[in-house]
Structure formats: structure tokens, C-alpha cells
Structure 1
Amino acid sequence: MATRADLLGPARTVRVTEGAIRIHEAGPPDGPVLVFVHGILANADVWRHVVADLSDRYRCVSPDWPLGGHQLPMAAGCDFTLPGLADLVARTLSALDLSDVTLVGNDTGGAICQAVAAGPHEHVGAVVLTPCDAFENFLPLPIRHLQLFGRSAPGLRVIAEALRLRPVHRSPAAFGLLTRRPIPPEIMTSYIAPLRAYPGTRRDFAALVRGISRQYTLDAARALPRFTKPALVAWSRQRFFPLAHGERLAGLLPHARLEILEDSGPFVSEDVPDLLSAALRSFLRSIRPDVA
């Protein structure tokens, strides 16, 4: 679970049909709302620097989504497919009574944001996609082993025990291809410790990896031209989530702008939070000129 409440804001929980979601909030309560969606084996700490920068004018809501770096388990039978997770995001927005939200997604969270945009999206006013799963690239090849080992209790124990070793953190099979610079040890611990510590987290993660299918990202991509609200695709030059996919996504979204964030891996909020914050602030000013 996320640990940097000093940057993300205080934590509370919101209840939805599937269970309780732990969220952090920072910024003016009446400011334009940003809701951040991280990927698997991560949590709201991914966004800590971006939230710290943008919470002067924007209400930043950063949940720990149930994707493996969370503490609070979902109810048995929770739908962890991509459409199910999109519904979970939509129900969370509804439970928080949020509207005209700008969704900001990364990694698996970007795929979830695509699925939200492909649906009714009545709570969503804009979408921001940073490097993320898309099209046939779900999951990317270097971490596709998670679908094999993460399905069962013995496999999950292998993953959890391997992730205890710091050299593994920077390996291509773990987090090594996600950033150009090492992730701080205390943040790595917040990402990976729940999988070892909580049986409910392991159960949720096993259900998640069993539900992964590229058919869902392909279906979402086909529906993106129907999302006629503003969109930003802020991508980086790397092979894990190819730049060509960012360009394709920007081409599918009718009102999208594409920005390239240099010198970064897929976790742009870890590698270049200042560049991502600047791109977000410019985009948000363009769609909300009343917020200086």
C-alpha cells in the first residue's frame, strides 16, 4: 500500500460493491479533479511527485487499486478482467461523487483508463494515457511470466520470495525495464510487500493475472474513436510500451495531443515527474483555462 501520505495527502477508504478502496487526496476540495490509476504490483506511491506538484490547484485523488500493491482485499468473486476493473473505477468515482474527472493512467492503469473511455464514462471529462498496455501488448513480453506463475499459490510464493531480493528489482523480469533510474528502496517495498504479507492480496493478484487477455485491450482500442472528450498521450521512447503504440492511441482518440517525455522508462512519474507534471499542467490549462 502507498506510504507517502506526506506527498499524496491523508488516506481514507471508500466502499464499493467489490470491497473497500484505500485512497489518498490532496489539493483544494473544489479544484478540478484528477484521479490517478497505477498498474500491477504498484500503488498510489507511483504518483507521489506528480501529486505534490499539481495539488496546489488540482484535487488529486490517488487510490491504491487492487492490482497487487494493495492491502485491502476485494470480495470473493470480484471481476478482475479489464472491463471489470473499468467498472470498479467507474463505481469508485460514483461512490466519491466525482464528475468531470481527468483520469490519468500508467502501465496496466492506462489499459484500464482505455476501457473506461470505451464505455459510458459519464463521470470522466478527459483522459491522460502515459506508457501503458495497449493493443496486443497486454501483458508485455518481459513480464508475461506473471500470467504463468501468478495463477497459483505456489507460483505466487515464487514471485513474492524472488521480489524480496534487491538485485531482482532491477532485472528485466521485474522492474528493471520500467525506469531508467532505480526506484527508491522504500517505494519498492511499498509496491511488493503486500504480495508477501496479505493472503487477500495474493488471492486478488491471482484472479487478476488469470483475467488478463489482449482481446480486452483490442476491444477497448476499437471503441476509443467514440471518446470525443479531450485526451493527452504523454509517452516515452522505450520498448516495453513502444512509442508507436502511443502514436496509435493518439490517432484513435479524436481530440488527443501527443507529447514525448524524453529520458524516461515507462514509469514516467518515477523517472521524469517534472516533465509529466508540466505536460499535465499545460494540458489541463488548455481544457480548463479558468484554472490558472
Structure 2
Amino acid sequence: MTELNQTTSAEEGALKRIETPAGTVEYAEDGAGPPVVFLHGLLMDHTVWDEVIPLLPSGFRYIRPILPLGSHRVPLSADADLSMDGMVGLVADILEALDLRDVTLVHSDWGGSLFLTALGRDERVARMVILPCGAFENFPPGLPGKMATLAVRLPGGITLAARQLRIGWLRRLPMLWGWMINKPVDDERMRRWTDPVLRDPRIRRDVTKYATTSFEPAELVRKTEALKSFDGEVLVLWSPDNRVMPPAHGPRLAELVPRGRYAEIPGAAVLSMLDEPQAVAREIGAFLTAAPGD
């Protein structure tokens, strides 16, 4: 695969591009060393990790791809498969395009990448950190996920939802972002995240492909439980007080994987990297620098 450099505006910082079978994907990269890949959820991008990255230990290569979940600025190919399985495959294709091996993969909010093992695409992943995310039968996750899925299925619904997210008091409603984060999300960040889906019908096309995926609960549980065969170390870093990703799912995930460890970020909602960036960085940093098996 070809890797291309792209310098964006000063506000967005320097992004790079890679080519995957599904199309062009942008990503941010910091540092050098063993690769750590951070993922994100619906209607957000790599900047959700901005407060955490500077607090992490040096000696690692921190990579943040922008997934086609509505806040990406480069549309993927018109024929790209962006169903759940297609999105999981895209994550694997990104790791391949960057020729990454022994990756520490950090999951957050969108839990589809937990299915890499079920689909036989986890060969480049050595370790995982799992923050609150969809798992087992919790797809789409909680009230916000179900409302987002409903919005995408209605004519003009995704545009209306994105515009509502730009209004502070509406954004704080439980059906939107009220249960996703405890701290206020600044207007500038939310404008950044909603701009692409409001501006470009091809971005709306991409996110609609994913959000209209049909989910079968039994299959979702089966694909999550395939993690039983993942033999790498796993840190499950859950927020027990959140109201979107069931608190019981954190310990359940940690017990599921053979080499799992459970830790908590008290007082945080789903997006603990925004609510408690120092605590999240401390736990991830300790995990990255610990001796194998420690």
C-alpha cells in the first residue's frame, strides 16, 4: 500500500493518508517505537484522544486513524463495504497498510474492532486496551446509540442530529451526548466533528452504510466471546458509573480473555479520555511499560 503525507490547516495539525481497499484513510501519528493504535466512535475523530496523547510515555508510536463514522473528511470509495464486518475489516486493512505488527489496539465507544478475532483478522494485534465500548449484545450501544441509528434511518435524520449536537443544551440530553461524557464538550470540537456529515453527502453515505447494519444479538455475543482465543494481554479500563455501556460488561470482558486485567476510571462516563484524561493516560502508560506478564 502507498503511504502519502498530507499537511492540513494549522487547526487540524498534520495528518497523513494511507490507501486501503475501501479507500483513503487519514490518520495522526506521534512518537516512534512499538505501535499503539487508538480508535474512536460515531461522530467523532482522532482528536478525542488529544488530552491523553501528551501524557503517555515516550518510546511508542501513537497512531490515530480516522474511521468513516461520520467525522471523517475524506469519503471512502462509493462501493466500500462499511457494514459492521466491513468496518472491522477496514481496521485490519489499516494495520496492514501501515505494515504494523505487535500492535497495542485501544478500543473506545465503537466496539466493532473487538470482532477482529472472530473474523480471523487479529494477527497484527499483540495487546489490547478496552475502554467502555459496545460489546456482547449492546449494539447499537444504549440510548444514544439507538437514537443515532434511528436518526440515520429517517430522511434527513442524520443532518438533524448533527445540527442538534451543535446546540449546548440539546447536546446534554441523554438521547444525544448527556450520558456519553460528564464534562462539557466545547462548541469548537463539536463543530469539527459534525462539519463533515453536514457538508458532504458522501460522508453521510459512508456513515449510513454502517449505522444501518442489522445486528443479531446472538451473533454479536458469539463474535465478542471469540476473544476467548486471543492470547495477548488485555487491559479492560472501564467506567463503572456510565449509563451506556453496562458496568457488568467490563469485568465480563476481562474474565473472557485468558490474559485479561480489569481496572476502573471512577467518575467518568463513556468517554473517559475526555472526563479523566490523566487517569486514563496513567493506566494506559503503566500497561504499555509493564514487563510482559507483570
Query: What TM-score do you get using the length of structure 1 for normalisation?
Result: 0.90
Aligned CA distance change for structure 1 residues 214 and 266 (closer, same or farther; 3 Å): farther
Cα distance in 2 for partners of 1:168, 1:116 equals 35
Query: For residue 281 of structure 1, what is the aligned residue in structure 2?
Result: 285
Aligned CA distance change for structure 1 residues 282 and 214 (closer, same or farther; 3 Å): farther
Q: CA deviation at 1:158?
A: 2.2
Query: For residue 63 of structure 2, what is the aligned residue in structure 1?
Result: 61
Q: CA deviation at 1:181?
A: 0.8
Q: Which moved more, 1:137-146 or 1:126-135?
A: 137-146
How is 1:59-138 mapped onto 2 (pairs within 5 angstroms)? 59-108=61-110, 111-118=111-118, 119-138=120-139
| Structure 2 residue matching 1:24: 3-state secondary structure | strand
Contact in 1 for aligned 2:30/2:63 (Cα 8 Å)? yes
Q: Which moved more, 1:63-72 or 1:183-192?
A: 183-192
Say if 2:244 is the partner of 1:240: yes
Query: For residue 263 of structure 1, what is the aligned residue in structure 2?
Result: 267
- What's the CA shift string for 1:30-72, capped at 9, x where partnerless? x111001101111001111221222622110011110111111
Q: Which moved more, 1:239-248 or 1:117-126?
A: 117-126
| Structure 2 residue matching 1:12: 3-state secondary structure | strand
More helix by share: 1
Superposed structure 1 runs of 4+ greater than 6 Å apart:
3-6
Select 2:185's aligned residue among 183, 186, 206. 183
Q: CA deviation at 1:160?
A: 2.8
Letter in 2 for 1:139: P
Q: Which moved more, 1:143-152 or 1:273-282?
A: 143-152
Query: For residue 142 of structure 1, what is the aligned residue in structure 2?
Result: 143
Cα distance in 2 for partners of 1:4, 1:266 equals 30
Say if 2:233 is the partner of 1:230: yes
Query: For residue 4 of structure 2, what is the aligned residue in structure 1?
Result: none
Select 1:156's aligned residue among 140, 155, 158. 158
| Structure 1 residue matching 2:156: 3-state secondary structure | helix
| Structure 2 residue matching 1:243: 3-state secondary structure | coil
Q: CA deviation at 1:197?
A: 1.2
Aligned CA distance change for structure 1 residues 4 and 255 (closer, same or farther; 3 Å): farther
Letter in 2 for 1:229: G
Cα distance in 2 for partners of 1:187, 1:157 equals 17
| Structure 1 residue matching 2:50: 3-state secondary structure | helix
Contact in 2 for aligned 1:70/1:201 (Cα 8 Å)? yes
Select 1:219's aligned residue among 216, 219, 222. 222
Aligned CA distance change for structure 1 residues 127 and 214 (closer, same or farther; 3 Å): farther
RMSD of Structure 2 on Structure 1 (CA): 2.1
| Structure 1 residue matching 2:243: 3-state secondary structure | coil
Contact in 2 for aligned 1:113/1:127 (Cα 8 Å)? no
Q: CA deviation at 1:217?
A: 2.9
Q: CA deviation at 1:156?
A: 2.2
Q: Which moved more, 1:57-66 or 1:113-122?
A: 113-122
Cα distance in 2 for partners of 1:72, 1:13 equals 10
- What's the CA shift string for 1:85-125, capped at 9, x where partnerless? 111011111111111010001001xx122112332311111
| Structure 2 residue matching 1:49: 3-state secondary structure | coil
Q: CA deviation at 1:155?
A: 2.0
Query: What TM-score do you get using the length of structure 2 for normalisation?
Result: 0.90
Q: CA deviation at 1:77?
A: 2.7
Q: Which moved more, 1:236-245 or 1:47-56?
A: 47-56
